[in-house]
Amino acid sequence: MGLILALAAANGVTRLGSRFAILGAGQRVEADLRDQLYAALQTFPPELFARHSTGDLMTRASSDVSAVRSLVGFGVVSLFSTTLAFGGALAAMLAVDPWLTACAMAAMPVLVLLARRFNVSLNERTQAMQEQLGTLSGRVQETLAGMAAVRAYTMERRAAAAFAEANRTLLERSVAVAAIQARFTPLMSLIAGAGVLVVIWVGGLDVAAGRITLGDLVAFNGYLAYLAWPTVALGLTLSVVRRGLTSMERIQEIVTAARPAPAEAAPLAAPPSLAFEDLTWGYPGRSAALSGVTFSVAPGGMVAVVGPTGAGKTTLGLLLARLWEPPPGTVFVGGRDVTTLPLATLRATVGWVPQEAFLFSRSIEDNVTLGRAGLDVAAAAREAAVDAEVAAFSGGYATIVGERGLTVSGGQRQRLALARALAGRPRILVLDDVFASVDTVTEDAIVRTLRASGLTILVATHRLRVAQAADRIVVLDGGRLVASGDHPSLLAAGGLYARLWRRQQLEEQIARA
Amino acid sequence: MPERGSLDHDEVLGRAFDRRLARRLWAAARAQRPLLYGTLALFPAIALAELAQPYLMKVAIDDHILAGDWLGLSVTAAAYAGTLGVLYALRSLEGYLMALVGQRVTHDLREALFGHLLRLEAGFYDRNPVGRLMTRVLNDVEAVSEAFTSGLLAIAADVITLAGVVAVMLWMDWRLALVTFAIVPLLAAVAAYFRIRARDAYREARRRLATLNAFLQESLQGVTVVQLFARERHEHAIFRRLNDDYRRALFNSTVFEASLYSSVEALGAVALALLIWYGGGQIGAGALTFGALVAFIQYTNRFFLPIRDLGAKYTVMQSAMASAERIFGLLDREPTIVAPEARSVVPEPRSSVPAIEFQSVWFAYDGDAYVLRDCTFRVAAGEHVGLVGATGEGKSTCARLLIRAYDVTRGRVLVDGVDVRDWDLERLRRRVGTVFQDTVLFTGTVADNVTLGAPVEPDALGHALEAARARDFVDALPRRRDEPLGERGANLSHGQRQLLAIARALVYNPAILVLDEATSSVDPESEWRIREAMQRLLTGRTSITIAHRLSTVQHADRILVLHRGRVHEEGTHAALVRGGGLYARLWELGLAAPDGTGSNAAPAR
Ligand SMILES: Nc1ncnc2c1ncn2[C@@H]1O[C@H](COP(=O)(O)OP(=O)(O)OP(=O)(O)O)[C@@H](O)[C@H]1O
Ligand SMILES: Nc1ncnc2c1ncn2[C@@H]1O[C@H](COP(=O)(O)OP(=O)(O)OP(=O)(O)O)[C@@H](O)[C@H]1O
Ligand SMILES: [Mg+2]
Ligand SMILES: [Mg+2]
């Protein structure tokens, strides 16, 4: 009796240990995959983000990753134990009676065939379901992130209807997966049961005929019973494995697209000049956004890019920072082709302030430093002329801003983004229309500071008075450089720039009248 | 200035199993009750068929094989085959119905949650990251639906089978049965011990998951920034920490399940050993048949199976409860901005009443950090007013108050002479159309984004695009109006997005139009053309234009200058310039080149 208990305890401990090991392993795999996925996403170029919506990627990082956890945790263990059970029980059964074993296993080939057919259709339906889940998350994500517009345009009902439709489709697809599983899973116990049936009948007759003993038959049945549970579980296992593999594919699709993440690096030591040489480039599937653009900025100089909406001003900056890859030999920083520069060096050299400022829902300080050590946040904020406002927030630099920075005003957001770029002490500053939400007084202060700083500046702007402060103005129209020169010479040349300028003059005159 | 503190954290939650919560869950599944009952009805039949199998085995051994009765054996085998067929049919049906119930509960809860989120006010979204809300709608809902399938229904099935097994075992041989059951009190003690430790682990896991998802979602949105500043490794380190926290919490929450599972398996083996030891003796003494012992062993296995899985079910129920708490917590969060039901009025716009009126409005987003202080102004019906002021002065805030995205702290905002709090919300927002400073575009075609899904004549769409100066670039897109836009309009230039937002407002066709920096990223020429077109379209309508570029507002009938939370100056452009106040100073500055090199721009002087 004591021995039994001792054995049971030992059994329990080993089982517990192995179960923890298995669970732990599954969860570790899940965490690792999520980690890899994240690392990959961090290095994604924009064209890949255009292909996968946020909702889609979120689904991969949650639902698909958990499916793989089940594959590793439950699936692998179950496959392993099934194989072991099959091997062991089969050997024992063969030892008792080969003929009976053959009879009992007769149904197995059917099982294999069915399993294969089932696997194919389950795979398809699971894919469809996961995709729809991605679509649904996308809907939810976009609607919630765009609530300001939803509210203002009373779109609630339509948003709800669109959601309901996606939700219904998801329901249909999930039920389609369930329907196939419902047909297949019990089939396994049917087949296991069929084995028992054969043994009772064929084996029973054999015992009656005296070919084998009753003891053998009972033992045989016992071994067969060992097979019953793994066979039944096989159905579940297969669907878990299938789902896990499908999900693994979806995760791999992302992970394999990763690029190496740049390490931190010092800015380029060469004088920070900037040049575009015969740059022609277009977004995939669109006509060229830039055609034959050539101009340069001397170290410490300031060039303004002006031109109508959609002229390609932002595209210039994107190529310069290599967010999109420019053709080799077209974009130069400090005299070196950017495509040959290490990404980290390039990005430490060029500080780019995007047209649409993005803040994280963290403290203002964290938003400016982005975790970079040893930065002078206050000085950067001062240069960006946002220090007074930050000081007035009750939390100061520790104030946490809402998602996307929606709890600070538009102009504050833009200047915080500017401070973020300045804090890293880049040598070249690219400002993409950053004065759009800033009043003239503030704009003035910032331009003065920046001009005095000695940075090489490329500024895209719709405000001609900012352009006027530049050494040279480059006029883009439809992706082509149509004129360049300083303010007086462009006025004298009488092109697009002069027309824009005169328009402004005209308005001023009307206003003064 | 507003104190924004930290974002709302997920509340610390109540007790582990909450009867009130269970009742609400049950109520949430109301629509699925016929299905639930239908599924429940299958269980006794399934249990019966399952329990018959070992018994048939006993009969086959004791009555036929030992007696050499092959005809009887064939009949019994046929009966066994019958149970197999019946079981297959019933199990398929059961599996399908269970999945159906689960998926429908998921579907219904998602719909309810999403519908509720649409009703919540702007202030709520200021504090709750989208990623966290998504976790509720997607993951938490799934956990709850599992409470029905893998939890409730599975437990019911187990209880029925268990009762059957116990009954059959007692009936066949009560002494042998008691030997098996002797192990049960030990099991109960083990379960009780682990349960106490399992308590908060589940909630912790859900909370960590929400935080993780929120971070991930935000990272996806801000990825460009991270790449530009080469902060990939830094962000990755933060993510790794959150990810690890979640993994650890998840592991802790499964300790209970794993421990119980293993304990039951070990104890089950003890029971089996006892049974064979004791049963063997009985057979020797002739008190038990061989077939009965075989059947008994099988019954014992069926007895422990559900008990072994109990831990898993407890986990499911617990994590469902944790999720249900979070879901109902959200559903219970009533929107604070709702239209008064009885009093909501539909005012007739009259020219004698100002279209817009701010009466001593005080407003703070948070606490007493007032953005607007005693702000008072009127806009007459049909008047076009410009609103200017330094950045962060509260211009956008005024626009938000006008459509009642937030409620004023003190004072009143009137539209067509009626307090916005007395308006029906939808009618108010149909009356006042706003183009916000932050352009919001959705995935979908250009046309969808402009019409927002409302049925609109192609002509009207064309006119709106034309007036917004968007027609040229839209026609140059590969698929023109059917060109699919990326998330937030990612495949358009910034100015182009703004033009679409303007076209959208024109299609929306409100009586009062508010343009908040609507053309800030548009070139001066297009802006001028848009204004011309607007002037035609806006005759007879009321408008407020917010802008930093003074040329945008200088043609307005009247200009309001916001300063220190109130209207500091007002008048026509000419009058304000002559008045020599704040506006005049801004205007003079606008004429000078910003580096102070003097002005080339005042030939009219
Ligand atoms: N991700 C993209 N995919 C495809 N086309 C794009 C993408 N981004 C921009 N474009 C297109 O490329 C052209 C140039 O865009 P860009 O953003 O460079 O203009 P811009 O001069 O910055 O305009 P704005 O003054 O409005 O900011 C536009 O016609 C735009 O529609
Ligand atoms: N959702 C919010 N929660 C808390 N504070 C906010 C929120 N939105 C704006 N604020 C604060 O209220 C003040 C006024 O903001 P508002 O957006 O109205 O300014 P604005 O005049 O439109 O400025 P800008 O010209 O820069 O757009 C700012 O200090 C801002 O930080
Ligand atoms: Mg741009
Ligand atoms: Mg604003």
My answer on whether A344 and A232 are in the same domain is no
Q: Which residue of B has its CA nearest to A506?
A: B604
Position in ligand 2 atom list of the atom nearest CA B398: 18
Question: Sheet holding B542-546: strands in order across?
Answer: B432-435, B512-516, B542-546, B384-389, B558-563, B566-571
Pick from A233-242, A391-400, A499-508, B306-315 the range whose average pLDDT is largest. Answer: A391-400
Position in ligand 2 atom list of the atom nearest CA B399: 18
Task: Tally Cβ neighbours within 10 Å of residue B172.
Answer: 17
Contact between B312 and B261 under an 8 Å Cβ cutoff? The reply is yes
Q: Which residue of A has its CA nearest to B487?
A: A53
- The rounded Å distance from CA B397 to ligand 2 centre is 6
My answer on whether A115 and A196 are in the same domain is yes
Q: Which residues of B touch A442 (CB under 8 A)?
A: 390-391
- The rounded Å distance from CA B522 to ligand 3 centre is 9
Give the CA dihedral B448, B450, B456, B462, nearest 10 degrees: -120
- Give the separation between CA B409 and CA B399, rounded to whole angstroms: 15
- Give the separation between CA A282 and CA A293, rounded to whole angstroms: 12
Q: Which of B508, B365, B500 is nearest to B429 (CA)?
A: B508
- Give the separation between CA A112 and CA A117, rounded to whole angstroms: 9
Options 1.20.1560.10, 3.40.309.10, 3.40.50.2000, 2.40.160.100; CATH of B19-331: 1.20.1560.10
Residue A357 covered by a domain: yes
Position in ligand 2 atom list of the atom nearest CA A411: 26
Residue with tokens 């009772």: A200
Position in ligand 1 atom list of the atom nearest CA A479: 14
Residues with Cβ within 8 Å of residue A207, at least 6 apart in sequence: A213, A214, A217, B65
Instruction: Please report the pLDDT score of residue B379 as a whole number.
Output: 92
- Give the separation between CA B228 and CA A500, rounded to whole angstroms: 33
Using CB atoms, which residue from A46, A152, A205 is nearest to B429?
A: A152
Instruction: Please report the pLDDT score of residue A327 as a whole number.
Output: 92
Using CB atoms, which residue from B93, B262, B390 is nearest to A15?
A: B262
Return the structure tokens found at B169. 């075992």
For A132-173, how does the pLDDT look when each residue is reduced to its tens digit (9 = 90+)? 888 888 888 888 888 888 888 778 888 888 899 999 999 999
Contact between B373 and B396 under an 8 Å Cβ cutoff? The reply is no
Instruction: Please report the pLDDT score of residue B553 as a whole number.
Output: 83
For residue A437, count CB atoms less than 10 angstroms from its CB and return exposed for 0-12, middle for 13-18, buried for 19 or more.
buried
For A414-440, how does the pLDDT look when each residue is reduced to its tens digit (9 = 90+)? 899 999 999 888 889 999 988 888 877
Mean confidence (pLDDT) of chain A: 83
Q: A473: which strand partners?
A: A304, A485
- Residue A298: give its domain's CATH number: 3.40.50.300
Answer yes or no: do B251 and A19 touch at CB < 8 A: no
Size of interface A-B (CB pairs under 8 A): 502
pLDDT at A12 over 80: no
If one residue of A48, A315, A458 were mutated to test the ligand 1 pocket, choosing by the most ligand atoms within 8 A of its CB, it would be: A315
Answer yes or no: do A354 and B228 touch at CB < 8 A: yes
Please, what is the Cα angle at A191 between A189 and A195, to 5 degrees? 110
Task: Tally Cβ neighbours within 10 Å of residue A379.
Answer: 14
For A37-46, how does the pLDDT look when each residue is reduced to its tens digit (9 = 90+)? 888 888 888 7
Answer yes or no: do B454 and A158 touch at CB < 8 A: yes
- SS3 (DSSP) at B272: helix
SS (H, E, C) B278-316: HHHHHHHCCCCCHHHHHHHHHHHHHHHHHHHHHHHHHHH
Return the structure tokens found at A334. 């400090």
Residue A262 covered by a domain: no
DSSP for B442-488? -SEEHHHHHHTTS---HHHHHHHHHHTT-HHHHHHSTTGGGPEE-GG
- The rounded Å distance from CA B35 to ligand 4 centre is 53
DSSP label at residue B516: E
Task: Tally Cβ neighbours within 10 Å of residue B373.
Answer: 16
DSSP for A240-259? HHHHHHHHHHHHHHHHTT--
Number of helices (H), then strands (E), in chain B: 23, 12
Output B96 or A270, whichever has higher pLDDT.
Answer: B96
- The rounded Å distance from CA A309 to ligand 3 centre is 7
My answer on whether A349 and A412 are in the same domain is yes
- Give the separation between CA A436 and CA A462, rounded to whole angstroms: 8
Q: Which residues of B touch A503 (CB under 8 A)?
A: 524-525, 528
My answer on whether A194 and A312 are in the same domain is no
Given a cut of 70, the residues of chain B with pLDDT beneath it are 1-18, 194-199, 311, 342-351, 590-605
Return the structure tokens found at B501. 């937002």
DSSP label at residue A113: H
Domain that holds residue A200: 2-130+179-257
Q: Which residues of B touch A469 (CB under 8 A)?
A: 593-595, 597
- At B386, phi and psi to the nearest 5? -100, 145
My answer on whether A242 and A294 are in the same domain is no
B193 touching A (Cβ < 8 Å) = no
Domains B19-331 and B356-591 alike in fold:
no
Stretch 414-433 of chain B: residues touching chain A, C-beta under 8 Å: 426, 429-430, 433
For A324-373, how does the pLDDT look when each residue is reduced to its tens digit (9 = 90+)? 889 998 999 988 888 888 888 888 888 888 888 888 888 899 889 888 88
Residue A434 covered by a domain: yes
Instruction: Please report the pLDDT score of residue A469 as a whole number.
Output: 84
For A205-225, how does the pLDDT look when each residue is reduced to its tens digit (9 = 90+)? 888 777 888 778 877 877 777
My answer on whether A314 and A399 are in the same domain is yes
Q: A338: part of which helix (H) or strand (E)?
A: none
My answer on whether A247 and A285 are in the same domain is no
Question: Total domain count for chain A?
Answer: 2
- Give the separation between CA B424 and CA B343, rounded to whole angstroms: 9
ipTM score for this prediction? 0.81
Using CB atoms, which residue from A5, A12, A393 is nearest to B2?
A: A393
Reported for B79-83, long-range contacts at CB under 8 A and 24+ positions apart, including other chains, are B79/B52, B80/A193, B80/A196, B80/A197, B80/A200, B80/B53, B80/B56, B81/A197, B83/A193, B83/B49, B83/B50, B83/B52, B83/B53, B83/B56
Alpha-carbon A509 to chain mean position:
52
Q: What percent of chain A has pLDDT over 90?
A: 10
Instruction: Please report the pLDDT score of residue A7 as a whole number.
Output: 65
My answer on whether A247 and A280 are in the same domain is no
Residue with tokens 């508010």: B514
Reported for B454-460, long-range contacts at CB under 8 A and 24+ positions apart, including other chains, are B454/A158, B454/B507, B456/B507, B460/B507
My answer on whether A506 and A434 are in the same domain is yes
Residue of the CA atom closest to atom 30 of ligand 2: A408
DSSP label at residue B7: P
Q: Which residues of A touch B270 (CB under 8 A)?
A: 4-5, 8
Return the structure tokens found at A85. 């059970």
- The rounded Å distance from CA A314 to ligand 1 centre is 7
CA distances to A8, A79, B61, B190, B191 from B185, rounded to whole Å, are 16, 33, 33, 9, 10
Contact between B573 and B556 under an 8 Å Cβ cutoff? The reply is yes
Position in ligand 1 atom list of the atom nearest CA A308: 25
- At B548, phi and psi to the nearest 5? -90, -35
Position in ligand 1 atom list of the atom nearest CA B496: 26
My answer on whether A48 and A123 are in the same domain is yes
Answer yes or no: do A286 and B216 touch at CB < 8 A: no
Instruction: Please report the pLDDT score of residue B349 as a whole number.
Output: 62
Instruction: Please report the pLDDT score of residue B547 as a whole number.
Output: 86
My answer on whether A253 and A363 are in the same domain is no
Return the structure tokens found at B306. 């559900």
Return the structure tokens found at B405. 């995205």
List b or e across A481-505, with b for residues whose CB sees 16 or more CB atoms inside 10 angstroms: bebbbebeebeeeeebbbebbebbb
Task: Tally Cβ neighbours within 10 Å of residue B465.
Answer: 25
Q: Which of A173, A389, A15, A190 is nearest to B390 (CA)?
A: A389
My answer on whether A200 and A327 are in the same domain is no
Residues with Cβ within 8 Å of residue A436, at least 6 apart in sequence: A355, A414, A462, B517, B520, B521, B548
B343 touching A (Cβ < 8 Å) = no
- At B24, phi and psi to the nearest 5? -65, -40
B31 touching A (Cβ < 8 Å) = no
B359 touching A (Cβ < 8 Å) = no
Instruction: Please report the pLDDT score of residue B194 as a whole number.
Output: 67
Q: Reduced to 3 DSSP states, what percent helix, strand and coil does chain B have, rounded to the nearest 5?
A: 65, 10, 25
Return the structure tokens found at A284. 């995939």
Using CB atoms, which residue from A167, A225, A436 is nearest to B520?
A: A436
Answer yes or no: do B478 and A193 touch at CB < 8 A: no
Residues with Cβ within 8 Å of residue B474, at least 6 apart in sequence: B446, B465, B480, B481, B483
Q: B357: which strand partners?
A: B378, B414
pTM above the 0.90 mark?
A: no
B88 touching A (Cβ < 8 Å) = yes
- Give the separation between CA B355 and CA A417, rounded to whole angstroms: 37
Answer yes or no: do B235 and A218 touch at CB < 8 A: no
| CATH architecture of residue range(s) B356-591 | 3-Layer(aba) Sandwich (3.40)
Q: Which residues of A touch B61 (CB under 8 A)?
A: 214, 218
Contact between A5 and B270 under an 8 Å Cβ cutoff? The reply is yes
- Give the separation between CA A108 and CA A127, rounded to whole angstroms: 28
- The rounded Å distance from CA A407 to ligand 2 centre is 7
Contact between B277 and B157 under an 8 Å Cβ cutoff? The reply is no
For A186-203, how does the pLDDT look when each residue is reduced to its tens digit (9 = 90+)? 887 788 788 888 888 888
Q: Which residues form ligand 2's pocket by a CB distance below 6 Å?
A: A 406-412, 437; B 1-2, 4, 126, 365-366, 371, 389, 391-397, 437
Return the structure tokens found at B357. 């009126």
- The rounded Å distance from CA A370 to ligand 2 centre is 23
Q: Which of B357, B360, B479 is nearest to B418 (CA)?
A: B357
Q: B571: which strand partners?
A: B559
Residue A138 covered by a domain: no
Residue A235 covered by a domain: yes
Q: Which residue of B has its CA nearest to A206?
A: B65
Answer yes or no: do B117 and A402 touch at CB < 8 A: no
Please, what is the Cα angle at A339 between A334 and A342, to 5 degrees? 75
B223 touching A (Cβ < 8 Å) = yes
Residue A247 covered by a domain: yes
Domain ranges of chain B: 19-331, 356-591
Ligand with an atom nearest the CA of residue A47? 1
